[in-house]
Amino acid sequence: MEKLTNCPVCLGGDFKEVLSCTDYTTSKEEFVICQCSDCSFRFTNPRPDIKESGKYYQSDDYISHTDSKKGLLNKIYQISRDYMISTKYKSTLKKYNAKSLIDYGCGTGDFLKYCLDKGHHAIGLEIDESARKIAIQKGCQEVFNPSHLEELSDHSAEIITLWHVLEHIHDLQPTIQQFSRLLTSNGTIVIAVPNHQSYDANYYGEYWAAYDVPRHLYHFNLQSITRLMGNEGFKLIETKPMRLDPFYIALLSNKYKTGKMNPIKAVFIGVMTNLKIMFNITNSSSIIYIFKKQ
């Protein structure tokens, strides 16, 4: 375990423990979430160091990197993912008219393949070896370990996407600096992350599944991600809600809280979250932040 003594966003040293969450997916261990007194950023602390983090991803239930179609939760995940891929494409590469893409944390390569089929130059980076192999089998040729990031040429991508990835990265600041180097001038970076200020996060508290400790090292909101990216010269230009996420997160959160997924309640919480989004995007379970390099 490693214990952070400075806030990863503002480098302040004053923070307090705000939540204690259980890792329901793999270890069943408890992890503390701290909040910075200065910038209000939340982070898991202490956290597994980079060498020991691998074991917290070893679970049949950890579906982000697999194509398993077993079980209700996996089926819902697959259906929503297929819908999301085309939505992601339209709101990013198509909207910002970008030809070249780096998808950081590409998983099994579904979004990458979709972009390749649309005629884009698309490179994927993925830490999980078996996920990389699946992506390559699907026809994504340029899929590498994230350590390959440093070898990619300056200004080689017009857009970089991170779909639920930034919250997993140990070396946060150096990685964002690499993104800045790789982007063309006025390039776009798209970051989708859970939002701990959301309606469903407030409802479920420590049981909110998107805390997902200790795999999620950071817990963002609009304020903290804007400051983090601003530190590296990125300006926020657009935010978009992820409307399907709260349904899936509510199913999991119900399971953590009561032992049952309770689909009716999950639909209710998902609908309520979406209604609240109409008044303020900070109610959204996950948010897509679009930044431009300045």
291, β-bridge pairs: 189, 236
CB of 9 to Zn ion, least distance (A): 5
Angle between helices 110-117 and 71-89 (to 10 degrees): 30
Angle between helices 222-231 and 172-182 (to 10 degrees): 60
Phi and psi, residue 47, nearest 5°: -135, 160
Pick from 21, 36, 84, 217 the residue near Zn ion by CB under 5 A: 36
Site for Zn ion in 175-214 (CB under 5 A): none
Q: Does 7 bind Zn ion (CB under 5 A)?
A: yes
CB of 227 to Zn ion, least distance (A): 8
Q: Does 38 bind Zn ion (CB under 5 A)?
A: yes
Stretch that binds Zn ion, among 8-16, 169-177, 199-207, 284-292 (CB under 5 A): 8-16
Helix (H) or strand (E) holding 83: helix 71-89
The two structure tokens encoding residue 41: 């950023």
Task: Report how far residue 270's alpha carbon sits from residue 79's, in angstroms, rounded to the nearest whole number.
Answer: 16
Site for Zn ion in 70-109 (CB under 5 A): none
Q: Does 12 bind Zn ion (CB under 5 A)?
A: yes
Q: How many angstroms separate the Cα of 22 from the Cα of each of 30, 39, 99, 278?
A: 4, 25, 42, 31
Q: Does 229 bind Zn ion (CB under 5 A)?
A: no
**Strand pairing of 183-194 and 157-163?**
parallel
Contact present, 18 and 33 (Cβ < 8 Å): yes
Question: Residue 34 or 162: which CB sits closer to Zn ion?
Answer: 34
Residue count at the site for Zn ion (CB under 5 A)?
A: 8
Quick note: the x/- pattern for Zn ion over 128-167, rule CB under 5 A, is ----------------------------------------
Stretch that binds Zn ion, among 33-41, 65-73, 83-91, 98-106 (CB under 5 A): 33-41
Stretch that binds Zn ion, among 3-11, 171-179, 252-260, 270-278 (CB under 5 A): 3-11
CB of 5 to Zn ion, least distance (A): 12
Quick note: the x/- pattern for Zn ion over 39-58, rule CB under 5 A, is x-x-----------------
Positive or negative torsion for Cα 170, 173, 179, 182: negative
CB of 41 to Zn ion, least distance (A): 5
Task: Report how far residue 160's alpha carbon sits from residue 121's, in angstroms, rounded to the nearest whole number.
Answer: 12
Contact present, 48 and 214 (Cβ < 8 Å): yes
Phi and psi, residue 71, nearest 5°: 85, 155
Q: Does 9 bind Zn ion (CB under 5 A)?
A: yes
Site for Zn ion in 236-255 (CB under 5 A): none
CB of 130 to Zn ion, least distance (A): 36
Task: Report how far residue 271's alpha carbon sits from residue 152's, in angstroms, rounded to the nearest whole number.
Answer: 42
Which residues sit at the interface with Zn ion, rule CB under 5 A? 7, 9-10, 12, 36, 38-39, 41
